[in-house]
Amino acid sequence: MMATIKFGTSGWRAILGEDFTFRNVRIISQAIAQMLRQDKKGQKGIIIGHDSRFMGEQFAKAAAEVMAAHGIPVLLCDRETPTPTISAHILHHQLGGGINISASHNPPEYNGIKFTPDWGGPPWPETTQAIEQRIAPLLHGEHVKWIPFDQAQKNGMVRVFDPRPEYFALLEKHVELEVIQKANLRIVMDPLFGTARGYLDEFLRKAGAKMAVLHYWRDPYFGGLTPEPNVTTTDELQKTVLREQAQLGLATDGDADRFGIVDQDGTFIEPNLIIALLLDYLTTTRGWKGQVARSIATTHLIDRVAAYHGLGFQETPVGFKFLGTLLSEGKIMMGGEESAGLSIQGHVPEKDGILACLLVAEMVARTGKTLTALREDLTSRVGKIFSTREDWRITEGMGENLEKVKDNPPEDFAGQTVQEVKALDGCKLLLKDGSWFLFRPSGTEPLVRCYGEASTAEQLELVMRAGSKLLGMAR
């Protein structure tokens, strides 16, 4: 028996058949149901979906059975569903919350539960703590109740529905379809066997793009890869874009909240650059005025683009809930984080990889330029920046050293004076020449995530080498 169940920044994740079991899914569902009823949000109902992992629909039905037994109406998605689609329906139907049975971009042996509260963004710690507090007695014998799925349908507590039409209508408010139609784009898409199948490709086909789609079937093993769009997992996409002479390659992760972009020449483009390019493009075409935000680990190229257009910007800790809250409150027009998360004003306060891919397609269609050409144009106006992230493994005793460095940061680093130290999330050293180094321990793995940025590749290498020496860790 598990001693406890802990929620991280993206919900609870566990290995299938080990801790991720029907019993634990029902326990977590009942804890959520109890919280919703206490907060008087249960009567508003809840939406439940799942990704393409093993037995996702059965786990989703188990969650629905528990909700029905507690008098909470359920909208149950009829197929694999992206996390941003769940968020969109919470807001559109003014629901009490949403559950997606998903482990996002984790390896295939995992599954998970993502809970989205009624404001449509990732939950804050007080919400997940409220769920965890209710889980504890359920793990140790308190009765868990549910009713059979057929009965829940017959009494009207569960309704199976297709969430795509309403979500597509929301996307149409943000993407200029006629621009894509006129460009006659050739696009290759790779959902990495995830939930964007029938979403991103279908939307683009309706917009007039010529589509080729890789991995367009359900594979709970994700082809032996982790469903996270990066330079390694998109290798086949890169080769296909080049071979088929397409203008663009688009990829999404397991639950379609993250994006991966491939240029016409088969080059994978880092999310940091995509966010900066989209900010420049959307500010120009939408006439944005106001503020944008990025996480502390995200490129300062965002700051330069914002300054170029006369926009303000904010820096947040890592975690899209911070950016989502600012979007929800109408304080920013766009929020982005280096781990391929992005959303804009008027959309959902949750990262949306489908939206990001569509906006990139519109940008390429309108400008008629490759992403490499767009980058060159942008850097000619705001200057070049080189960025990297490296994950370094923490060995015994190194955790204490990280705390010592954080408490007593150096005055000089990588041949530069340290002008400012930020402890917003981890420890960030801002140097005199504009370069910076950030380290923050992972909350889920024995790793320290290290980020660096500089105006030249040579200075970036000096920054990362200095970081390795400072922390006493091998790269």
Residue where a domain terminates, one of 326, 348, 382: 382
Residues 191 and 313 in one domain: yes
Q: Is residue 167 part of a domain?
A: no
Nearest alpha-carbon partner for 75 in 48, 101, 35, 51: 48
Average pLDDT of the chain to the nearest whole number = 95
Nearest alpha-carbon partner for 256 in 374, 340, 185, 381: 340
Q: What is the CATH number of the domain that holds 210?
A: 3.40.120.10
- The one-letter amino acid code at 73 reads P
Q: Is residue 5 part of a domain?
A: no
Residues 194 and 147 in one domain: no
Q: Is the pLDDT reported for residue 236 higher than 60?
A: yes
Residues 290 and 405 in one domain: no
Question: What is the share, in percent, of the chain residues with pLDDT greater than 90?
Answer: 91
64-123 pLDDT, tens per residue?
Answer: 999 999 999 999 999 999 999 999 999 999 999 999 999 999 999 999 999 999 999 999
In the three-class reduction of DSSP (H, G, I as helix; E, B as strand; rest coil), residue 316 is classed as: strand
Q: For residue 3, what pLDDT is reported?
A: 66
Q: For residue 7, what pLDDT is reported?
A: 85
The whole-number average pLDDT for the span 3-17 is 85
Confidence of residue 268 (pLDDT cuts 50, 70, 90): very high
Q: Is the pLDDT reported for residue 2 higher than 70?
A: no
346-387 pLDDT, tens per residue?
Answer: 999 999 999 999 999 999 999 999 999 999 999 999 999 999
Q: For residue 328, what pLDDT is reported?
A: 97
Residues 36 and 100 in one domain: yes
Q: Is residue 278 part of a domain?
A: yes
Q: For residue 357, what pLDDT is reported?
A: 98
Number of CB atoms found within 10 A of residue 98's CB: 29
119-169 pLDDT, tens per residue?
Answer: 999 999 999 999 999 999 999 888 999 999 999 999 999 999 999 999 999
Q: For residue 51, what pLDDT is reported?
A: 97
Nearest alpha-carbon partner for 191 in 159, 233, 162, 139: 233
Q: For residue 6, what pLDDT is reported?
A: 86
Q: For residue 295, what pLDDT is reported?
A: 97
Q: Is residue 310 part of a domain?
A: yes
Q: For residue 299, what pLDDT is reported?
A: 98
Q: For residue 205, what pLDDT is reported?
A: 96
377-402 pLDDT, tens per residue?
Answer: 999 999 999 999 999 988 776 777 78
Q: Is the pLDDT reported for residue 1 higher than 60?
A: no
Q: Are 257 and 84 in contact (CB under 8 A)?
A: yes
Confidence of residue 472 (pLDDT cuts 50, 70, 90): confident
* 403 class by beta-carbon count within 10 Å (0-12 exposed, 13-18 middle, 19+ buried): exposed
Residues 362 and 422 in one domain: no
312-339 pLDDT, tens per residue?
Answer: 999 999 999 999 999 999 999 999 999 9
Residues 153 and 178 in one domain: no
Residues 370 and 440 in one domain: no
Query: Which domain covers residue 89, as residue numbers?
Result: 12-162
Q: For residue 269, what pLDDT is reported?
A: 98
Q: Is residue 168 part of a domain?
A: no
Residues 80 and 138 in one domain: yes
Residues 49 and 76 in one domain: yes
The whole-number average pLDDT for the span 230-240 is 97
Nearest alpha-carbon partner for 102 in 220, 23, 224: 220
398-444 pLDDT, tens per residue?
Answer: 777 788 888 899 999 999 999 999 999 999 999 999 999 999 988 66
Distance CA 14, CA 151 (A): 30
Residues 36 and 140 in one domain: yes
Q: What is the DSSP string of 81-114?
A: --HHHHHHHHHHTT-SEEEEE--TTS-TTEEEEE
Q: Is residue 22 part of a domain?
A: yes
How many structural domains is the chain composed of? 3
Q: Is residue 108 part of a domain?
A: yes
Q: For residue 444, what pLDDT is reported?
A: 65
Residues 127 and 180 in one domain: no
203-223 pLDDT, tens per residue?
Answer: 999 999 999 999 999 999 999
What is the chain's length? Answer: 475
Q: For residue 474, what pLDDT is reported?
A: 78
Strand order in the sheet with 74-77: 12-15, 110-117, 97-101, 46-50, 74-77, 158-161
What are the CB-based long-range contacts (under 8 Å, 24+) for 330-335?
331/291, 332/290, 332/291, 332/292, 332/293, 333/282, 333/288, 333/290, 333/291, 333/292, 334/278, 334/279, 334/282, 334/288, 334/292, 334/293, 335/292, 335/293, 335/294
274-300 pLDDT, tens per residue?
Answer: 999 999 999 999 999 999 999 999 999
Q: Which two tokens stand for residue 153?
A: 């349908």
Which of the pair, 10 or 244, is modelled with greater confidence?
244
Residue where a domain terminates, one of 137, 162, 187: 162
Residue where a domain terminates, one of 382, 399, 418: 382
Going by C-beta distance under 8 Å and a sequence separation of 6 or more, which residues neighbour residue 31?
131, 132, 134, 135, 138
Q: Is residue 315 part of a domain?
A: yes
Alpha-helical segments (H) within 93-176: 125-139, 149-154, 164-172
Q: For residue 442, what pLDDT is reported?
A: 81
Residues 261 and 309 in one domain: yes
Q: What is the CATH number of the domain that holds 453?
A: 3.30.310.50
Q: Which two tokens stand for residue 104?
A: 């996002």
Distance CA 409, CA 414 (A): 13
Q: For residue 447, what pLDDT is reported?
A: 87
